[in-house]
Every structure is written in C-alpha cells, then in structure tokens.
Amino acid sequence: MKTTEPNPNAAQLQRAADFYVQGGLEEAIALLTAEDPDVQYARACLLLEAGRPAECADVLTRLLQTFPDSPLKNVSQDVLFRLSP
C-alpha cells in the first residue's frame, strides 16, 4: 500500500485554524504564507475579519493574478466587488 506525504498547505491551514479558534486571529493571519489559492483565500477572509479590507483586497487581487483558473476565482471576484467603494 502506497502512502503519501501530508499536504504542507493543509498543515498550514490547520495550524492557522487552531490559532484562530484559540483567539489568535493575528497569529493565524501570520501563518498563512503559502502561495496557494486556498491558503491565500483563507488569509483574505481573516484579514477581512480583522478589519483590514484593503489588505484583503490586495491578497484577493494577487490570488486572481497568480491563479487565474482557481476554483476560488468567482468568489474572490465577488468579495472584491463588495469591497469596492
């Protein structure tokens, strides 16, 4: 039976979730650094919750530029639209 290594991005997301659940919003944001659409979308969501909409928009814009075919494209565009003045 072949075993696979755990996805390092999944581990990063789990560590950030653990911090977030324990009240460490800023620590969770700081952990989400991987250039991965799931990680960056999670970072954008936490930035928005932290009251940092401009940073959230920056992350989503980068996500759309870096991963134009991401399954998160539509939802990212929707959030950006809602953040625009």
Tens of pLDDT along 28-51? 999 999 999 999 999 999 999 999
pLDDT above 70 coverage of the chain, percent: 92
Domain count, the chain: 1
Task: Identify the domain containing residue 17 by its residue range.
Answer: 8-83
Alpha helix (H) ranges present in 1-85? 8-21, 25-31, 37-49, 53-66, 73-83
Q: Is residue 3 part of a domain?
A: no
pLDDT above 90 coverage of the chain, percent: 85
> What pLDDT sits at residue 6?
65
Q: Is residue 47 part of a domain?
A: yes
User: What is the overall mean pLDDT for the chain?
Assistant: 92
> With 60 as the cut, is the pLDDT of residue 82 above it?
yes
Do 70 and 55 touch, CB atoms closer than 8 A?
no
Q: Is residue 28 part of a domain?
A: yes
Q: Is residue 2 part of a domain?
A: no
Higher pLDDT, 25 or 84: 25
> What pLDDT sits at residue 2?
53
